[in-house]
Amino acid sequence: MPFDAREATIDTVHHALYSGLWTCRDVVSSFLANIEAHNNRTNALITLNPRALTIADDMDQQLMAGNATGSLFCVPILLKDNYDTADMPTTGANLALAHSQPTRDAPSVVAFKNAGAIILGKANLHELALEGLSVSSLGGQTIKPYDSTRTPGGSSGGSGAAVASSFCVIATGTDTVNSLRSPASANSLCSIRPTRGLITRTGIIPISYTHDVIGPIARTVKDVATALTVMATTGYDAADNATALVPSPLRHINYAASLSRFPLSGLRIGVLNGFFNRTDAPEVTPVNNVVDSVMSRLSTAGVTLIPINEIVYNTTAIQAAYDVQRFEYRELIDQYLQRPSLSGEHPNTLTELYSHKAVNNSEGKFLVIPSQYEYVNTALVSSTGNATYNDRLAGIRNLTVTLLDTFSSNSLDAIIYPEQKNLVVKIGSPSQSGRNGILAALTGTPVVTVPAGFSEPSDEAPIGVPIGMEILGRPWEEQKVLGIGYAVEQLLKARRSPVFARERVAVPQYEEVPTITPDRGNISPAYPLGTL
């Protein structure tokens, strides 16, 4: 029998290899077969790595020689296509960047390769990671594996859909406001948004120095912890001075080794009541029911839940008052596009990128959803020199102090809330409304997302729509929030795979890696190309 890629983990891949039951080529072939069989259901991928099988063959030689090393040896992963790769274009899912070719891997990509991971290819995303609908001019609309009428969350929606569908073991994401946690929640997955500075952001298409972090998405907390351990080996990077903030004792930690150190009994966990929508509505009530049930089970397991009712914890107000993306975006993207290490055909500035508009029946080379026209147009004329920028940074510092005071005054181990107040939205919606990611994005604090449950099944969603919960901790407490996430994961066992991904797929003898072509014809008319 071929290796079974369905719901495979790092441990099951390694058991298959080290027991001699399957080769690395067998493992990679099985994931490629899943992609060939089901990517048309999700439109999750932009490209596959043509060297993936060659790399697998090289690893089989290492395995035969007894030289198989690395915590991710022969583990197939997918990269969100805003991670620089020297052997594949890095496009941000934007047509104008379709041929943009970095000449260096991002440090996080180097870390994955050093750990033995096999990069299968690049995943679709919401264009340039600017929103959460996961639709783009280059990649088309990514479709939720659990309900083909809904988006998969985002902006790392291709990564989330791919992991949920067993196209890989781990995928990477970026998170400016919600973008690691939203697709994890929407696809019954786990993720971590680490403390800002733990992993360098060099080689990632940027949006905001203040908001941006990068991290992994996987089907289990243990796999997330292992991937985070690898990504954090990038260490101090002079090109990203946030990495200087990591306390020395917290470097070189094996996050997977300490997962069982935080049993639930005796924990004090805050509940942000302002991050719930208590309206009785079809898109909202399922979220409240699921998270309320989780809280009941946590109480039964010995957790003391502390209600947090301060009015400062209002996501809409926080985003309106303190979000600084508009001031940082243009300067950062211009720096990225003008690096000497970036080759291939590409615009040199953000203004040039957005100059490729729809004219004379030409569809244009970018996609901005109408609800973000104001955001992008403002970013094109804003900078960190704007007077209000420093005012907002001061507000972020005050918000961070308030959050840390909430932890200390209530003796909290963590804070929980639903990742999204409502179910992930339908394709064609104006935006990915109701998400709660802004607090961690501004304060730079670590957050683990775990599956909490599902809405009731329906004709469109045969097993229901996944619902996720965030577990937020103090800065640099990745070990603790991962441990709590692991304990919650073991308590709930809420992860379920999409119906189609339960089918066993025939695995051919591949001579070469198949070609994937994104479906650009599935973009909703609600999102016109080349319009701003």
User: For the segment 201-232, what is each residue's pLDDT rounded down to a tens digit?
Assistant: 999 999 999 999 999 999 999 999 999 999 99
Q: Is the pLDDT of residue 361 over 80?
A: no
**Cα(134)–Cα(93) distance, integer angstroms:** 10
Q: Is the pLDDT of residue 525 over 90?
A: yes
- Cα 243 to the chain's mean position, in Å? 20
Q: Which residue ranges form the domains of the chain, and what is each CATH number?
A: 10-508 (3.90.1300.10)
By the 10 Å C-beta count (0-12 exposed, 13-18 middle, 19+ buried), 102 is classed as buried
155 is a catalytic site residue: yes
The answer to whether the beta carbons of residues 201 and 234 sit under 8 Å apart is no
6 pLDDT band (50/70/90 cuts)?
Answer: very high
Residue 40 tokens read as: 């048309």
Instruction: State whether residue 173 is helix, strand or coil.
Output: strand
Catalytic pick from 29, 30, 71, 80?
80
Alpha helices in 257-372 (DSSP H): 285-300, 315-322, 325-337, 350-353
360 pLDDT band (50/70/90 cuts)?
Answer: confident
For residue 376, what are the CA distances in angstroms to 328, 348, 371, 437, 497? 12, 17, 10, 20, 36
Residue 475 tokens read as: 């800065």
Residue-wise pLDDT tens digits, 197-206 = 999 999 999 9
Work out the mean pLDDT of the chain and round it to a whole number: 97
Q: Is the pLDDT of residue 283 over 80?
A: yes
393 pLDDT band (50/70/90 cuts)?
Answer: very high
Catalytic pick from 136, 155, 156, 166?
155
30 pLDDT band (50/70/90 cuts)?
Answer: very high
Radius of gyration of the chain (CA): 22
The answer to whether the beta carbons of residues 476 and 246 sit under 8 Å apart is yes
- Cα 493 to the chain's mean position, in Å? 21
**Cα(419)–Cα(472) distance, integer angstroms:** 11
365 is a catalytic site residue: no
| Nearest by Cα to 403 from 472, 450, 468, 321 | 472
How high is the pLDDT of residue 363? 86
305 pLDDT band (50/70/90 cuts)?
Answer: very high
Catalytic pick from 179, 188, 191, 382?
179
The answer to whether the beta carbons of residues 174 and 129 sit under 8 Å apart is yes
Report the number of secondary-structure helices (H) and strands (E) in the chain: 15, 15
**Cα(81)–Cα(71) distance, integer angstroms:** 23
**Cα(371)–Cα(429) distance, integer angstroms:** 10
**Cα(324)–Cα(396) distance, integer angstroms:** 9
Q: Is the pLDDT of residue 380 over 90?
A: yes
